Structures are given as C-alpha cells and as structure tokens.
Amino acid sequence: MDLFTWKKDLDLGVSAMDREHRELVAAMNAIHALHAEGAPKAKVDAAFVRLMTLTKQHFADEEKHMVAIAFPGLKVHARIHADMLGKVAAHYQRFQKGDGYLPPEFFDFLVLWLGAHIQGIDRKYAEHRAPAKI
Ligand SMILES: [Fe+2]
Ligand SMILES: [Fe+2]
C-alpha cells in the first residue's frame, strides 16, 4: 500500500509546483514500497538520493516562483525549506550508517511534510498568486 495517496485538495493550482509535488509523493512512495518489500539497501539508498535531489530542485524552483510573484512570505518559507533539507539529510545519514532499516519516524516525517507543508505552508503562496474571489 502506498504511503501517501495524492488527493485533489493537495493541488495548489500552480501547475509546475503541482507537478513537482506529485513527483515528490511518487518518490516517497517508491522508498516506502522498496523498504516494505525488503529491497537491498543499495536500492533504497538510490530511491532516497532521488527524493533528496527532487526535493532540493523543488525547493529551489518554489523559491524562484515566490520571487517571481513577489510573495512577501518568501524569507520565512525559505527558512522552513532549509530546515526540512537538514532534517532529510539527518535521516539519510542515520540510514546510511545503519543496516538499511528506516524507522517509522522517518515515514511519519514524510507524511507530515506533505500534510503540513504542501497543504498548509505552500498553499500560502498559491493563494497570494490567486486570491479567492469574494
Ligand atoms: Fe512545495
Ligand atoms: Fe514549500
């Protein structure tokens, strides 16, 4: 079973960012599936590296988008991104040192990332771009 199922309400209406968010969800589900089926550590490692690469690219793209729309919350948002990259890197270091096991806390972190970050924090720039009509 997938770690996370894409729901329509995760779409922000910013097509490039929505596409990248879907890729991130797919990359997270790939790690989860490989880990659940007991794949060799090297395979899980490659999926983990792919998630980190996509994440770095996504955060950079998102920050560029926020600059382009003159989003006032950019600084705070960029700080949250930097903090998340640090947390992902720490999880990766622990994984590398270990025997290939990923603890439930790691997957909880991924789910929280999606739930809180995409639905909450990212939505702010989406709403800035397209304010709700009253
Ligand atoms: Fe995002
Ligand atoms: Fe973000």
Q: 88 alpha carbon to ligand 1 midpoint, in Å?
A: 15
How many A from CA of 12 to the centre of ligand 1? 10
Nearest ligand to the CA of 118 is 1
Q: Is 38 part of any domain?
A: yes
Distance CA 121, CA 114 (A): 10
Range of the domain at 62: 14-129
In a domain, 8, yes or no: no
pLDDT (tens place) for every residue of the chain, 134 residues total: 788 888 888 899 999 999 999 999 999 999 999 999 999 999 999 999 999 999 999 999 999 999 999 999 999 999 999 999 999 999 999 999 999 999 999 999 998 887 789 989 999 999 985 555 55
Domain contains 1: no
Which residues keep their CB under 5 angstroms from ion ligand 2? Answer: 62, 122
Long-range contacts of 81-87 (CB under 8 A, 24+ apart): 84/55, 84/59, 84/113, 84/117, 85/52, 85/55, 85/56, 85/59
What's the structural domain count of the chain? Answer: 1
